[in-house]
Copies of this chain bind each other. A is one copy, B any other.
């Protein structure tokens, strides 16, 4: 619930994207719709966790820790559920690490952000499916199958919104930066920097680029372009290591 792609992240992410939305009311409204839905999901999970913890004797608590799904759903099955929250849900991830707002993305560029949202729903559905696989509790599975279905919708939703935006702009974010200002000689070449050349067979190494602006090239042996970096000695008041005679 409180992990990087948990319900708290998407709820906050969609609401902040909506509140920061400048114009484009259709998207603003959609973002606030789904952001509000995610708050409801947080409540669903918090309630389910509290119910799972209901009047569970300490031993059971500990056994739960050995069932990855309960442990994970409970947001970190550790002594803190007894000591700190008194059998209540906590907004942390399954290792007890607190949720933090660096997880949320709201850049002001909707195409960039909708790709963040599609990723969040992809990672999120993957995780919920893994939870489903690792439990046999029918009540938990039933609730998870609801979340899995909603994530199916949300992935479809973001793909639809991305398609709309890509048709109005271009596929490269941001679409408004003038092409001539980027170093075009390296804008479409794949560079081989590790051992092995299997990557040469990929779609990204030949054929038309996805933005239909050029053709993919494969550079099997990229050369360094910059000169060897050289730094001046630090000024005395910084008290870095003094230069040694053999470096003067």
Q: Are B239 and A133 in contact (CB under 8 A)?
A: yes
CB distance from A179 to the nearest CB of B (A): 9
CB distance from A248 to the nearest CB of B (A): 8
Write 19 A-B pairs (CB below 8 A) sorted by A numbering.
Answer: A19-B47, A22-B232, A26-B202, A30-B204, A58-B68, A62-B68, A68-B82, A80-B95, A83-B130, A83-B131, A91-B104, A115-B115, A115-B118, A116-B122, A125-B172, A130-B237, A153-B186, A159-B210, A169-B242
Known: A33-B194, A132-B177, A157-B190. 13 other contacts (CB 8 A): A15-B43, A16-B89, A19-B47, A20-B88, A24-B243, A25-B198, A25-B247, A37-B191, A55-B235, A58-B237, A86-B238, A95-B95, A155-B210
Q: What is the bound-complex CA distance between A150 and B115, given in angstroms?
A: 19
Q: Are A182 and B231 in contact (CB under 8 A)?
A: no
Which residue from B16, B79, B159 sits with its C-beta under 8 Å from A91?
A: B16
- A43 proximity list for chain B (CB < 8 A): 15, 19
Which residue from B29, B88, B101, B183 sits with its C-beta under 8 Å from A197?
A: B29
Q: Are A98 and B102 in contact (CB under 8 A)?
A: yes
Which residue from B3, B23, B209, B233 sits with its C-beta under 8 Å from A22?
A: B233
Closest 9 CB pairs of A and B: A86-B108, A95-B96, A20-B88, A100-B100, A32-B194, A91-B101, A36-B193, A30-B199, A72-B79
Q: Are B97 and A97 in contact (CB under 8 A)?
A: yes
Q: What is the bound-complex CA distance between A95 and B90, given in angstroms?
A: 12
- A8 proximity list for chain B (CB < 8 A): 101
Q: Which residue of B lies closest to A104 (CB)?
A: B91
Q: Which residue of B lies closest to A86 (CB)?
A: B108
- A42 proximity list for chain B (CB < 8 A): 15
Q: What is the bound-complex CA distance between A146 and B222, given in angstroms?
A: 15
